[in-house]
Amino acid sequence: MQSTDKRTTFTYEGQDRDGNPVAGNVLAETKKEAASEVRKLGVAATRIKTKSNLNFSLTTQKKITQEEVVNLTRQLATMLKAGLPLIQSFDVAAESSNKEHIRTFILSLRNEVAAGRTLSDTLKKYPDIFDELYCNLIVAGEISGTLDIMLDRIASFLEKNQRLKANIKKALTYPISVLGVAAIVTAILLIKVVPSFESSFASFGAELPAFTQFVIGISEVAQEYWLQVLGILVLTGISITIAQKKSTRFVYFLDQYTLKVPVFGNIIYLGAMARFARTLSTTFASGIPMLDAIDSSAGAAGNRHITSAVMELKVDVAQGNLVNVAMKKNTLFPPLLQQLTKVGEESGSLEIMINKAAETYEDSVNDAVDALTVLLEPVIMSFLAVVIGGLMIAMYLPIFTLGSVI
């Protein structure tokens, strides 16, 4: 995501070192600073001015999403593999985008590379968009002269991560959203609908069925305390959000507990292992030393508890232990990963074996999500039928009883 600094966007026009006319945008606090930034790009500026407020809001306040980063990476990889120079690849990518803020961003990258900066140095200026792992892989590609292969590898890595995240999100979002809607509907029935039936029942002058009395009792409690319950839920949500931002210990505890949640915890765990293995395989295959590869993979798991285990793994490997031996010291690393890592170290194909582990865990996540969806759908529908259907039966039961008496 894009940085939220308060610099102003300046547009410039001028000539590059070859005398070709160029134009673009730079972020700076003052016009003097903007002129300095333009000179660093190797451009002799003939005009620099503040961009209009309308364009500013369109180009700087819109965030670059992860999906857009993936698309740009894939485009650059494809065009470099086709033999196009990097500068021309940026031009084509910018022209193919139908979003103004994306086009402006790509052209700003293009201008900096055209001015003599390396691609990795250019990307490092946007740490909120291109993380450390992304930039390190680009550096490895530049050093080895295989930037096209590296961009293709990064694009594949990001695409698989996106699919994995989407599957995990699907597994968590579906039941939560359905149950949330069910809770809202039930609350409305108890707070608004049941009281209207209750006032009608008062004119019957007969004792209501036990089930109806039970539901009316729940309704009375809901009417009296619903605001307090809503307030507690809101405060709890706000408190958890603040704690996640300010307390590392709380985040660690939350991540550790999440892995123990029945059914969902296993899916989250498999997803974390898949991301860890995929990142480790990609970085090591790119020529990055094992210790640095493990360090880059630690944060990719997306779980502080697992990240802590990976950092312990790095310490053991730094002391001279094989990776598979170091993994055996912590039960968080599953046996399959340990065995494939051992085979990879013995055969000299470590990155291939770890990649196979990543694919296995990704397939396991997909299978678990599909199975969970198939299982939860009838369970949730049955639950809704029992709860909402039960409420409606409780309300109509006195009418049926009265009809039988008459």
Predicted confidence at residue 142, as pLDDT, reads 87
CA distances from 91 to 134, 150, 165, 400 (A): 21, 20, 31, 75
Whether 376 contacts 367, CB under 8 Å: no
Task: Grade residue 405 by pLDDT with cuts at 50, 70 and 90.
Answer: very low
Structure tokens at 204: 């019957």
Please give the CATH topology (third level) of the domain spanning 8-130. Receptor-associated Protein (1.20.81)
Q: What is the pLDDT of residues 80-138, one digit of tens each?
A: 988 888 988 998 888 888 888 888 888 888 888 888 888 988 998 888 888 888 888 89
Q: Taking residues 54-71, what's their average pLDDT?
A: 65
Residue ranges, CATH 1.20.81.30, the chain: 163-406
Side-chain-side CA neighbours of residue 63 (13 Å): 11
Tokens 């305390």 belong to residue: 225
Local structure of residue 189 (DSSP, 8 states): I
Separation of first and last alpha carbons in the chain: 70
Q: How far apart are CA 112 and CA 38, in angstroms?
A: 9
Considering only residues 251 and 337, tell me which one the structure prediction assigns the higher pLDDT: 337
Q: How far apart are CA 350 and CA 284, in angstroms?
A: 8
Q: Which CATH architecture has domain 163-406?
A: Up-down Bundle (1.20)
Nearest to 304 by CA among 258, 362, 236: 258
Predicted confidence at residue 57, as pLDDT, reads 38
Q: How far apart are CA 130 and CA 368, in angstroms?
A: 31
Q: How far apart are CA 31 and CA 133, in angstroms?
A: 34
Strand order in the sheet with 44-50: 21-28, 8-15, 44-50
Q: How far apart are CA 100 and CA 108, in angstroms?
A: 12
Predicted confidence at residue 406, as pLDDT, reads 47
The sign of the torsion formed by the CA atoms of 364, 370, 376, 378 equals negative
The whole-model pTM stands at 0.68
Q: How far is CA 85 from the centre of its chain?
A: 32
Does the pLDDT value for residue 361 go beyond 70? yes
Nearest to 21 by CA among 41, 45, 38, 37: 45
